[in-house]
Amino acid sequence: MILVTGGTGLVGSNLLQSLVEKGEKVRAIKREKSNLQWTANINDQIEWFDCDLLDVQGLYEAMEGVDYVYHSAAMVSFAPKDAERMRKVNQEGTANVVNMALERGIKKLVHVSSIAALGRGIQGKVVTEKRKWVESNNNTDYAISKYLAEQEVWRGQAEGLQTVIVNPSMILGRGDWTRSSGQLITNVWKGLRFYTAGGNGFVDVKDVVDIMIQLMASDIHGERFIVNGANIKYKDFFDQVAEHLNKPKPSIKASPFLLGILWRLEAIRSKFTGKTPLATRETAKTAVQTNVYDNRKVCGVLGYKFRDIEETIGRVCGEFKEDL
C-alpha cells in the first residue's frame, strides 16, 4: 500500500495518475472540500482519506497498513499574511508525517521539497545538491518553511526512517491554473505585457513523478536530488508560452523600480479588498534574480534523461486551452 499526501495538488495528482496506471494500491490524503477534478478519471481507484497535516491522529490512521509514503502536500504562498500559517503547515506538518511514519514502521518516505529550500544562488553560479543553506534576506518565507521541513525529514532519517528528498524547480504541468506555474500561463493568456530580467529552472511534472517513483523503488536513501529540466530566462519562457497560446509576447521590461511600485500598489489593493496580491515584495525580488540549477546528480545516479522543456511548454499550453 502506498500513501500520497497532497493528492489533489500538481505533483500529487500526476503521481496518482502514474501509480494507478502501474497497478499500485494507493491511498491519498485530501482535505474534506478538496477539488478532485485533476484525478476525476481515477478517483474510483484511489482510497481517499480526509485528513490535515496538522491532524496527528488522522495521519496515524491514514498510514495503517501502508508501506511507502510520498509526501507532496505543502502550502505555497508569497503573501506576508500567510507566512506563519505556511511555516506551521510545512514544518510542523512534515514533522507529523515523519513521526507517524516512524511510528508505523514505514519502509521509505520520498519528500517533495523545492529548489527554494537550497537557498538562492549567487548570481551566475550554478546551484548543486552540495549547496549549504545560508541565512539571507533573499530567502522567501516559503523557502524558509521548506528548508525547515527538510530538517524534519533528515531527523527522521537519523531516527531510522529511510528517506529521499527531491528538490524540483518550477514545475510545469496540468493542474490549478490560478497557482504557481499555472498562474504564469494564465497571465500570458490574459495579455501579460511585462517581463523581468531574471531566470529560473523549469521541469516537467512528468519528470518529477518518474524520478520520485524510480527513487522510491531504489536502494537509495539519505540523499537529495535536484530535479530540473532546464534553466530558462523568464522572457524566453513567456515568449514560448505566448507563441503556443497565440498571444502577444510581453514587450515591456520591468525594472526593479517599477516592480517596487507594483508590489506596493498590490499591497494596498489587497489590504482594502482582502484579495491575494498579484505581486509581493518577495516575488518582485525573486523575479529579477537569475538562478541556475544542476541536474547532473539525478541524471547520473538514475541514468535519467529529462524531457525537452520546449515540448513540455507546448504540451502544457495545449492542456491549458483544453481546460478553458
Closest among 204, 177, 173, 208 to 70, alpha carbons compared:
208
pLDDT at 247 (0 to 100)? 98
Cα separation, 32 vs 30, whole angstroms: 6
Question: Residue 136 CB: number of other CB atoms within 10 A?
Answer: 9
In Å, how far are 19, 43, 96, 232 from 210, measured between CA atoms?
Answer: 10, 21, 26, 22
In Å, how far are 40, 44, 120, 200, 288 from 262, measured between CA atoms?
Answer: 38, 45, 23, 21, 14
Q: What secondary structure letter does DSSP report for 89? A: I
Cα separation, 204 vs 311, whole angstroms: 10
Supply φ then ψ for residue 88, to 5 degrees.
Answer: -65, -45
Cα separation, 203 vs 197, whole angstroms: 20
Q: What is the pLDDT along the chain (324 residues), one digit of tens a residue?
A: 999 999 999 999 999 999 999 999 999 999 988 999 999 999 999 999 999 999 999 999 999 999 999 999 999 988 888 999 999 999 999 999 999 999 999 999 999 999 999 976 566 689 999 998 988 877 899 999 999 999 999 999 999 999 999 999 999 999 999 988 999 999 999 999 999 999 999 999 999 999 999 999 999 999 999 999 999 999 999 999 999 999 999 999 998 888 899 889 888 888 888 877 778 888 888 888 899 999 999 999 999 999 999 999 999 999 999 999
Report all structural domains of the chain as residue ranges with CATH numbers, in order of start: 2-174+200-230+292-306 (3.40.50.720)
DSSP labels for 150-170? HHHHHHHHHTT--EEEEEE-E
pLDDT tens profile 127-169: 999 998 988 877 899 999 999 999 999 999 999 999 999 999 9
pLDDT at 259 (0 to 100)? 87
* Spatial contact of 114 and 146, defined as CB atoms under 8 Å apart: yes
